[in-house]
């Protein structure tokens, strides 16, 4: 699949690609009983039809709601609370899609900051049908690497997160039905327990993170957002990404709701 001579060279390209994509990836937190942020997942901002949305996994949002915590994110190390109002999430009990979206108000004090790190729709696979994919990149904030005691500055209250960038490949001949998934809606990822004898990192905390496609490994700036990382089955060495088309369908509901309200006036 790749034209790269060695595992080490490929690793350097993954690292370089991650450097281009790091700015888009946002850690998500709940608060512990002492009011300290605890890593819960990952997310990102996307700009669609001149509006900005924050995207993460639905089960990340559920965990924060069940803990009666604020929904916290860190942008450029600054801890910010997103209001738990006006969000939408896929209501599939079986977590087939597992998506949550927040519409960001232009009146938000941090709107410009969010806009600067938003992924525009034209940089997704929504309307870009790729003939090949040389690299698949997952980015997220694994909980094991982001303990509050080590990452939170007690004076500034800023969070210096450890962002993880890794490359996988498609899981060939996946039995999507067995995992209650569908190949038209999801990507199946081959996630081995070990690579070259080294145990792979547990992705807990990466849920909601962006999954990128790079069509040509020699042109890593030609990246496209392909979907949202949602699920990992360690025993089966497989993980799943919900395709970006489903994200766009979810955020389209915000406009649909507005249209309905107008019709009632």
What is the distance between the alpha carbons of residues 183 and 190, in angstroms, rounded to a whole number?
14
Q: What does the H/E/C string look like for 153-200?
A: CCCCCCECCCCEEEEEEECCCCCHHHHCCCCCCEEEEECCCEECCEEC
How high is the pLDDT of residue 4?
Answer: 41
Residue 198 structure tokens: 């080294």
How high is the pLDDT of residue 194?
Answer: 82
User: Domain residues of the chain, as ranges?
Assistant: 7-264
Helices then strands, counting H and E runs in the chain, come out as 5, 16
Q: Following CA atoms 201, 205, 211, 212 in sequence, which dihedral angle do they give, to the nearest 10 degrees?
A: -70
What is the distance between the alpha carbons of residues 42 and 57, in angstroms, rounded to a whole number?
8
Find tokens 């509006």 and name the residue.
51
Does CATH number 2.40.10.120 belong to domain 7-264? yes
Could you read off the pLDDT tens digit of each residue along the chain, which spans 265 residues?
A: 344 446 678 888 999 999 999 999 999 999 888 888 999 999 999 999 999 999 999 999 999 999 999 999 999 999 999 988 889 999 876 678 999 999 999 999 999 999 999 999 999 999 888 999 999 999 999 999 999 989 999 889 899 999 999 898 999 999 999 999 999 999 999 999 887 777 888 899 999 999 999 999 899 999 999 999 999 999 999 999 999 999 999 999 988 755 444 444 4
């Amino acid at each position: 699949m790749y034209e790269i001579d060695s595992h080490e060279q490929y690793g350097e390209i993954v690292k370089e690609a991650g450097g281009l994509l790091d700015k888009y990836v946002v850690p998500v937190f709940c608060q512990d009983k002492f009011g300290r942020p605890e890593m819960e997942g990952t997310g990102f901002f996307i700009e669609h039809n001149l509006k900005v949305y924050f995207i993460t996994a639905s089960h990340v949002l559920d965990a924060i709601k069940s803990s009666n915590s604020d929904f916290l994110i860190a942008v450029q190390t600054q801890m910010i609370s997103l209001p738990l109002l006006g969000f939408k999430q896929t209501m599939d009990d079986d977590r087939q899609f597992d998506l949550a979206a927040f519409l960001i108000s232009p009146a938000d004090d941090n709107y410009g900051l969010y806009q600067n790190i938003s992924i525009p729709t034209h940089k997704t696979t929504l309307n870009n049908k790729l003939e090949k994919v040389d690299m698949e990149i997952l980015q997220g904030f694994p909980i094991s690497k982001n303990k509050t005691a080590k990452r939170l500055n007690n004076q500034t209250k800023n969070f210096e997160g450890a962002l993880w960038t890794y490359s996988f490949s498609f899981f060939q001949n996946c039995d999507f039905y067995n995992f209650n998934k569908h190949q038209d809606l999801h990507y199946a990822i081959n996630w081995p327990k070990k690579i070259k004898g080294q145990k792979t990192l547990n992705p807990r905390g990466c849920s909601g993170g962006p999954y990128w496609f790079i069509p040509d490994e020699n042109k890593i700036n030609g990246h496209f957002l392909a979907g949202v990382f949602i699920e990992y089955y360690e025993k089966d060495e497989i993980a799943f990404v919900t395709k970006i088309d489903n994200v766009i369908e979810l955020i389209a509901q915000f406009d649909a709701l507005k249209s309905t309200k107008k019709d009632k006036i």
